[in-house]
Each structure stands twice: as structure tokens, then as C-alpha cells.
Amino acid sequence: MADVPGVFQRRIVIGAVFCVAAFTLVGLRLVDVSLMRGDGRSGFEDRTVTARADLVDRNGELLARDLPVQDLYARPHVFWNKNEAARDLAAATGADEGRLRAGFANTKHPYVLIARQVTPAIESKVMHLGLPGLEFEPSVKRYYPDGRNAAQLLGVTDPDNNGVSGLELGLQDKIRAADDGTPVITSIDMRVQYILAHEIAAQRDTFGAHAAGGLVMDVRTGEILAMASLPDFDPNGRSLTGEDTTRNIMAQDVYELGSVFKIFSFALAFEDHTMNLDEVFQIGQGYKIGKYTIHEAERMPASLAARDILAQSSNIGTARIALRSGGVRQKQFLSHLGLLAPIRSELTEQRRPLYPTNWGMIETATIAFGQGISVSPLRFAASAAAIVNGGRELTPTFIKTDADRRGAQLIKPQTSQQMRDLLRYVVTNGTGKNANVEGYEVGGKTGSAQVPGEHGHYIAHALRTSFFAAFPIENPRYLVFVLMDQPHGIKATGGFALAGYTAAPLAGRVIARIAPLLGVPNTAPPARLADGNS
């Protein structure tokens, strides 16, 4: 007969059982954690979220920063009611309920992603559900304190904190390399950005334009101080509603810009000595080239001096001047200014210019006044900067720099001086009068382009208006370019929607507000006070 275990032996057995159970639980927990970390055994993704440096403007104002958040996962096998858990978690986090139901029903994967980048507020809602089997993993979310302002310019990151658009993508290497907490300093001046975006939004609303945008550039350093594109989007919301768009029309789209292109035709004429400003050209009401007839946007006199051809924006006069140099020379000159190649900058969004493969006589005439060739506003601005900055090449940059970055001499300094004088004349005596700002000596040029439609035809009564400005024009420091896509005439403008009524006053208001901030001295004569005897 076997011996009956004593009390001491029974205690040893019970202790051993408890030890085995404890080690089993620890082992299960280790398996649980390893699965949760995505070691490949569960089919769950293995993600590495890389921290990013802050983006700041040129004055140190915060533009983008990583915020600590958490990713939420669930072990659905411990839910007592999977459908009810899916409904409650979807309501608390904004996740798709159908996706959660499908994930919870899939027994092959013990873990299901509920939501990424969960904020403390959402975490609180989730915790109040009292559900078992929930796990929070540390993560980060990119935050943009200025919201919509400069949204397309700054861009966004994906859930793994990789830049996918804008400067977040274009400056990715710099942002990741600054792992010591040093911010990446951009060229943007948020004071200028606020003003530019505000004025563009107001003018777009006034004229009911489909879209609108603008930029401000330093013509010596190439720094982009501001760039706005409307409609925009909320980069913190990560979803588009209504007319929201992530598209940056100033860099991603190419346009036939119309009469602002005439500045290149006149610069070419100065370079080639094919005209002088006092020379009189016959204008008339139509100029036939083969089977085509060039018309004016507005009624013109029978003849105009060359300076007034630009000031009054005559298509026929500009075409006649350009044809003196010819198509081969015109194409070579525009290529020399960079207008036939995409722009290079830290902004990855770009498009190649569009221009005709057959560059004949009619193409030479229409390209002279900005129809038949399409470039991005950023590409135009970079080339236009060389027209006023002494004739030197300039590459735009979105990184702060104090250095004069003007490069190779593209046109003669004398040509640049002649163009500055002529652009000032456009504002004082021509279509740019509404851009004049007392004391800041603005020079510029209007552009009212027809809008291409389907099958190579232009849309009737549709215009794309723009204004190019530089100030102070005698020794320019800053360039402003604004664009309005299909504005509509209003009662105050007599129903007209040409650039002189829509884009020129917009540029003038922007300059009036940013010039004092940028330290440009106002040279307006002091006001004369009445002496009381008159």
C-alpha cells in the first residue's frame, strides 16, 4: 500500500503548480508583446516611426512639429461582443466600422489596428469604453500650428512620419538629419504669408475666381518669403472636404500667362537693339499672319510708341516687335532665361513648361504676348527676377540665407535698367496704375490671358489674370506675383475682369502691407499741411 502524501509534500506540489502557472503566464505575455511589436509571426506590420525636426519660418515661428501620440490596437478574441466593440471603437476613434468588423472576424491575425496617431482626447474616449484587449503603442503626429496657412507649401507627412508633399518631402533629408533638436529654418516669413493669403482670399471672393495664388520673392537671394494657393486644405485634418485641394497652383500647374510675358519680348528687343522706345508702330484693329488674325484685348489707337505698346499692353505691337528678332532667336532667348525647362528648388511639386514643337511665325507672334506657351508661376517669377535684378540668373530657395545668390549674367545690366524704367512707366502711365503704392516706386506688368478649353479652343469670356511687380523698382529687392483663375467682372469695375481691375490692385495692397514689415523705406514726400491763410 502506497504511502499517503503528507501535508508537507502536498504543499510542495501545490507550490510547483503555481510556479508552472506563473511561468506560463509570463511566457504568454512575452509572446503577446512580441506579436504586438510585429515580429512577423502574427502577420502584423513592423513600423519604424522616425522623428522629424521642427520646421520654422525665418523669424523662428513654428511651422511644423512632431507631437507624441499613440497607435491603438486590439485583440478581438477577448471581446465578448465583437460587433458591439467595432461599433463603439469606430464611434470613439473615427475608424471605419466595416473595416473593424472584418478585422475582428479574421481569426488569422490576433491583433487589429484600430487607429493611428490617437490623441489624448480620443484615448480618453476609448478608455471609457472599458473594453479588454486594447493596446496603445507610442507614435508621433506631425502638427501644423498655422493650419491652412501655407498648407500646400509645407505639405504633409504619412502615418509613418515620412514627408509626402511640399517642403516636408523636399526638405526630408535636412529634417531627418537634424536629430539634435535643431530646427530647419525656412525662407518663409509668416507675417508676409498671412498678408498674402488674406489679400488673395479677399480678392478671390470679390471676383468669384475659381482659384487664386501668389508669391513673394527676394530678387537678390532667391528666397521665397511667401507662397499661397487657394483653395487650400487643413493639414491637421488629413481629409479633404468641399473644394479643398492639396494642389499648389503656383508650382504644380502651368498656365498661358498672357501679357506679363511681354516683359521678355521687350527685354529681347533691347538685347538685340531691334527697337527704341520712341519708335512708333502701326497697331490697327487686326494683324494678319497667314490665315490667322491677332486682335487686341481692348480697343487701341491706330499707332503707339514702343513704350506705350507695353504700357497699354498691345498684342499687335508686341508681336511686331518680336517678329523682328524671329522665332529661332526668341526660342533661344526664352531657353536662356530658363523658361523652357522646369524650375529647380526644394519644392518637389513641379511641371515642365509646354510650348509648340513647330515654332513658326504665328507661334513667335502669340508667344510674344504670352499665349501658346505655358509655364508655372514659380518658373515665371524666377525668370522675371532676372529681368529686374541686374540681369542675373536666380534659383528660388525655401531655405533661409543671407547671401546674394544671383548667378550668371543672362541679360546686360543696361537691359535690366531699361526694363525697370519701362515697368515703372507701366504703373504710372499704363494698365498697372491700380498697383501703384505711394512712396514705394512699384514697377510691374498686367497679364490677361485667354483660358484654353477642350480641342484646342479657348473658353469664351474666360480670363486668367495676373500681375508681376517689383519694388522699389530703381533698385529692386522684392518681387510679387499674383494670379487669379477666371475672375468675374463686378459692378465696381464696370463688369470688366481684366488684370488691371483684378490682379493689379491685389498686388498693390500686398505691397502696401508687406513693404513696411520688410524694412523698405517709404520715399513719399511729406504731407503739406494747410497754413490756415488759404
Residue with cell 504703373: 427
Helix locations, 409-498, DSSP H: 413-429
Q: Are 522 and 516 in contact (CB under 8 A)?
A: yes
DSSP state of 58: T
**Which cell numbers in the block locate residue 427?**
504703373
Residues forming beta bridges with residue 52, ordered by sequence position = none
Residue with cell 473644394: 243
N- to C-terminal Cα distance for the chain? 139
For residues 206 and 91, give the distance between their C-alpha atoms in angstroms, rounded to a whole number: 40
Residue with cell 510679387: 480
For residues 440 and 471, give the distance between their C-alpha atoms in angstroms, rounded to a whole number: 7
Catalytic residue among 187, 259, 265, 466: 259
For residues 420 and 36, give the distance between their C-alpha atoms in angstroms, rounded to a whole number: 66
DSSP state of 354: B
Orientation of helix 327-336 relative to helix 361-368, angle to 10°: 40
Cα dist. 513→150, 390, 455, 520, 523 in Å?
18, 26, 43, 11, 15
Q: Are 430 and 266 in contact (CB under 8 A)?
A: no
Amino acid identity of residue 227, one-letter, is M
The reply to whether 259 belongs to the active site is: yes
Total length of the chain: 534
Residues forming beta bridges with residue 230, ordered by sequence position = 212
C-alpha Rg value of the chain to the nearest Å = 32
DSSP 132-201: SSEEEEEEEEEE-TTTTTTHHHH--B-TTS-B-SHHHHHTHHHHHH-TTSPPEEBS--HHHHHHHHHHHH
Q: Are strands 224-230 and 303-305 parallel, antiparallel or unpaired?
A: unpaired
**Which cell numbers in the block locate residue 528?**
503739406
For residues 169 and 211, give the distance between their C-alpha atoms in angstroms, rounded to a whole number: 24
Active-site residue set: 259
